[in-house]
Structure 1
Amino acid sequence: MEFTIKPLSPALDSAECLILPVTGSSLPAVTAELDAALGGRIGELVTAGDLAAKAGSTLTLLLSGALAAKKAILVQAGEDEQSLLAAARAAARALAGLNPASATSYLAHAAGKKSARSALAQAFVQALITEQYRPDSWKSEKDTPRKLAQMQLSCAKKGDIAELESGLAAGLALGHGMNLTRELGNAPGNVCTPAYLAEQAQQLARENGLKCQVLEQAELEALGMGSFLAVARGSAQAPRLIVLEYRGGKKAQKPVALVGKGITFDSGGISLKPGEAMDEMKYDMCGAATVLGTFRAVAELGLPVNLVGVIPTCENMPAGNALKPGDIVTSMAGLTIEVLNTDAEGRLILCDALTYVGKYQPEVVIDIATLTGACVIALGHVTTGLFANDDALADALLAAAKTSDDKTWRLPLFDEYHEQLKSNFADLANIGGRPGGAVTAACFLSRFTKDYRWAHLDIAGTAWKSGAAKGATGRPVPLLVEFLRQYPAGK
């Protein structure tokens, strides 16, 4: 898709589809221009209530043969910046539904501030790129292809071009990063194995000037990663520890570290999951996919940060040699863990990765994991759960969540919850029972993060959708990229 940015006139625009803003019951000047060319038709429709007053509402018009354009999408932009961003996302979805070969967005004409124009362009382009994605890599007959080849962003004057260019670059990078995360998440478990994830990370590194190291079984044994290796034991697929490095900051700047859970298929192990919807356990590597998608976006944007990514990846399968309930394993940190449920395996691989990442002396560590069904019960499929041992880090992540509209909510890590993880036979148990399951899982991880500032994102409810729209969402790539864009101000 080719993007161009310049001042344009809707009455003379030859693009197949035009996107025009409406603010409340009034028409911005650019929309009024087209309305005049149509003999007041747009104004009549708005007055009659054909376009709902809610921000993001859309109405598609077939235009008169006297005009070069064939269709117009009217978008209710509302009265504030957040409403305008919602309108931009809705416009991208409506445009994808029409599937034209060329289009022009005039939404920037409704933005008053420079920052609003940049944010609007980012929101529109990000949504447009993610709408282009088709999960049809394994279909013999592909889904209907997107035809959009020419996309123009119109601005009121040439002085606005720089703001739109900034938003365009950010939107493209985010869209590309999210789509990589979605493609990896949607890949079937017989394709997306630990070895495959490692290959994808190596390819990403080659294409974007990153450093990539892949540690295999013998090296993990030498490091003493007994907890991670215990989870991998029941699978025919060998585990991998993937390490990525991006150096965009000053040499002396401590890195931000992202740790992503990479269970490429989770059967539950000996504590076998119910059969219903078990196919969705291919999504248990969405934390790993998020790390790769975030690196993709950060590299494209060239952000001035140093970034380390650590991905422990394996399968959790039942077998004669698989980890059993009641087994005790020794973590890389030296803590012994009584495994009361083998389906609480994500924390068992993450704890060793969280110990390993300390070698980089990170400024902060953020782990991303489809960790607990309890978080889905607490927050549903709308909001990511956030836990942190540092208030400033939590505040920075929440601010990034608000800016990116990647909804996130902080949950507690009170000392009292640690009581549930006590074991009669080991230093701690891997589960704390049903009450506060998302919290006790985070408390477990916190036992391995005492040497640095740390946050945990439980994305079990937000990493993918079920039902007719089944598929990976690409979250929380927008949250993490926005956090890194604000860094180090947000550290």
Structure 2
Amino acid sequence: MEFSTHSTASLHQIKTAALALGVYADGMLSPAAELIDRASNGAVREVVKSEFRGRPGSTLVLRALAGVTAQRIVLVGLGKQAEYGARAHAAAEQGFAAYLVSAQLSEGVSTLVANPYADSTVRARARAAAIAAGGAAYHYDATFGKPDRDARPKLKKITQVVERGDASQAQAGLREGGAIANGMELARTLGNLPGNVCTPTYLGETARKLGREFKSLKVEVLERKQIEALGMGSFLSVARGSDEPPRFIVLRHTPPKPAGARKAATKEGAGPVVLVGKGITFDSGGISIKPAATMDEMKFDMCGAASVLGTFRALAELELPFEVVGLVASCENMPSGKANKPGDVVTTMSGQTVEILNTDAEGRLILCDALTYAERFKPSAVIDIATLTGACVVALGNVNSGLFSKDDALADALLKAGRESLDTAWRMPLDDAYQDQLKSNFADIANIGGPPAGAVTAACFLSRFTKAYRWAHLDIAGTAWRGGKDKGSTGRPVPLLMQYLLNQA
């Protein structure tokens, strides 16, 4: 989708199929709506009084308004003026884009980005608008035998109206938001694809395609023999139960630097930020098999990997000026004669041994080796992203991702990025006292700690493999996808990760 800016006070003279105007729930009009109301001799205010309540994201369409060139005026609800903020703004932009999609229009003009609210900037509002528009226009039909081509959105362009002095900041925000929306689209599609299509091999090929598309990306996809040579016994123990071969994907974003320039560093330090994604492309639970009722949703167990690939697509498009590394450990978790059994002991890449008490706690078994591999990059920070525990869903539902870290500065930076991107996280405890639940009589560590504090003990397990660097863990089991009638991948936490990286720049 194309995003552009338009600087003018003559809104009533803009030629477009649809012009969006903000209206507050208390009947107050945004400045742009006031201009159109005057041009139409009070027609907007009259409609607002009689039939539009201004709920966030709601829309009402006025056609052929006298004195206005636009074919349609789309009134978009902003909620109560006193409560108008980032979420209401994003809902309004998404509501307008959703209307454009439903009406099968190819373009529209929005004035909403110019509506300020506390602690906002034109750039941030434009970024949020582009992300919201991309989300509204997302459409999945990759595995339909006869896709309804008429159902595919025709939306190609949204123009944002801004003050002349704000144009450059708005354009920067739209470019950032557009890239993030593209990354979310990739992450959502990977998550939505079924497990017989989106295999570890498919994820590896997707990474290679990104490497061919963006010159700043170097991609290496390791196969079983190479993974064995690294000593990733824990990862391979999970992969052993499936006929699908495992893949270990390494992505490196290294932007070109001008001659004589020093290597760009993030605020975290000189080393690269490393993103580590869990890529279980289907999780049956293994021998500790899951209930059948919603097992189909276990195709989403690779959403951590999808978010890493989506984030790399976005950061490469934006040409972030510092190095970022992505690591994806990918395999299936299946029951077979070769699969892990409860009571088995495996040796990790770090040399630590693990007693497998439950084969459905496999995500941590592949991540621990990836986290050990991350040491070789001497990272400034490592963030792993995983649909790790049902316990996190119980604790936080589908609103916040779970954030675990002993590094206060890193945790605060991620929480801030979540608030700014509306892709929020909630910090969970990581006290050493929880480590006692992982004691084993037969290995250095058990892979589960029992029912109490399941999300916490999973994070405690991972922490054993992160002593060499600053580390944070995002448990996205409740936020990476939705179930029920709206079943599908959300693309989270690509916005959070990208906002964190943008803030580092």
- Asked whether the two chains share a fold, i.e. TM above 0.5, the reply is yes
**Residue 163 of structure 1 aligns to which amino acid in structure 2?**
Q
CA displacement at 1:53 relative to structure 2: 4.9
1:114, 1:160 within 8 Å by CA — same for their partners in 2? Answer: no
Q: Which residue of 2 aligns with 1:7?
A: 7
Letter in 1 for 2:128: A
Residues 3 and 175 in structure 2, CA contact (< 8 A), matched pair in contact too: no
Counterparts of 1:97-176 in structure 2, within 5 Å, are: 97-111=102-116, 116-143=121-148, 144-156=151-163, 158-176=164-182
* Inter-partner Cα distance in structure 2 for 1:113 and 1:457: 28
* SS at structure 2 position matched to 1:484: helix
Q: Within 5 Å, which residues of 2 pair with 1:162-241? A: 162-209=168-215, 210-241=217-248
Q: Which residues of 2 match residues 73-472 of structure 1 at below 5 A?
A: 73-77=74-78, 78-79=81-82, 80-82=84-86, 83-111=88-116, 116-143=121-148, 144-156=151-163, 158-209=164-215, 210-248=217-255, 250=263, 253-472=270-489
After superposition, the C-alpha distances for 1:379-435 in whole angstroms (9 at most, x for unaligned) are 011110000121110010001011111011000011111111111111111001111
Give the whole-Å Cα distance in 1 for the aligned partners of 2:76 and 2:264.
Answer: 47
Q: Is the 8 A contact 1:312 1:350 kept in 2?
A: yes
Task: Answer whether contact 1:363 1:452 (CA < 8 A) is retained.
Answer: yes
CA contact (8 A) 1:366 1:456 kept: yes
Matching residue of 2:59: 58
Which runs of no fewer than 5 residues in structure 1 stay unpaired? none
Name whichever of 235-244 and 132-141 sits farther off: 132-141
**Residue in structure 2 matched with residue 31 of structure 1 by the alignment:** 33
- The CA distance in 1 between the partners of 2:230 and 2:114, in whole Å, is 58
Q: Which runs of 4+ in 1 moved over 4 A?
A: 112-115
Once the 2 structures are TM-superposed, how far is the Cα of residue 41 of structure 1 from its aligned partner?
Answer: 1.9
User: Which whole-Å CA distance do the structure 2 matches of 1:417 and 1:3 have between them?
Assistant: 49
Change (3 A) 1:231 1:278: same
Instruction: Give me the whole-angstrom Cα distance separating, in 1, the residues matched to 2:355 and 2:155.
Output: 55
Identity of aligned residues (%): 53
SS in 2 for 1:318: coil
CA contact (8 A) 1:93 1:127 kept: no
TM superposition shift of 1:110: 2.6
Q: Give the Cα separation in 2 of the matches to 1:29 and 1:353.
A: 52
1:251 CA displacement = 6.1
d(CA) in 1 for partners of 2:144 and 2:380? 44
Distance across 2 between alignment mates of 1:177 and 1:372: 24
SS of the aligned residue for 2:472 comes to: strand
Residues 1:111 and 1:444: Cα distance change in structure 2 (over 3 Å)? same
Q: Alpha carbons of 1:384 and 1:314: their partners in 2 closer, same or farther (altered >3 Å)?
A: same
- 8 Å contact kept, 1:178–1:293: yes
Is the 8 Å Cα contact of residues 264 and 322 (structure 2) preserved in structure 1? no
SS at match of 2:11: coil
After TM superposition, give the deviation of residue 96 of structure 1 in Å: 2.9
Deviation, 1:124, is 1.3
Aligned length in residues: 486
Q: What letter matches 1:261 in structure 2?
A: K
C-alpha displacement at 1:101, in angstroms?
Answer: 2.6
| Match in the other structure for 1:474 | 491
**Greater CA deviation, 394-403 or 212-221?**
212-221
- Calculate the TM-score normalised by the size of structure 1: 0.95
Aligned to 2:260: none
CA drift at 1:71: 2.0
96-105 vs 199-208, which moves further: 96-105
* Residues 86-95 or 358-367, more deviating: 86-95
Instruction: Tell me which amino acid in the other structure corresponds to 1:175.
Output: A
Q: Which moved more, 1:322-331 or 1:104-113?
A: 104-113
- Any stretches of 5+ residues in structure 2 without a counterpart? 258-262
Please tell me whether the aligned partners of residues 96 and 128 of structure 1 are also in contact (alpha carbons under 8 angstroms): no
The answer to whether the 8 Å contact 1:91/1:124 transfers is no
Contact 1:305–1:487 under 8 Å retained in 2: no
Counterpart AA for 2:459: A
After superposition, give the CA deviation of every residue in 1:260-314 in whole Å (9 maximum; x if it has no partner). 0000111111111111111111111100010000011111111122101111100
- AA of the residue aligned to 1:33: L
* CA–CA separation in structure 2 for the residues paired with 1:149 and 1:309: 31
- Kept in 2: contact 1:384–1:459 (CA 8 A): yes
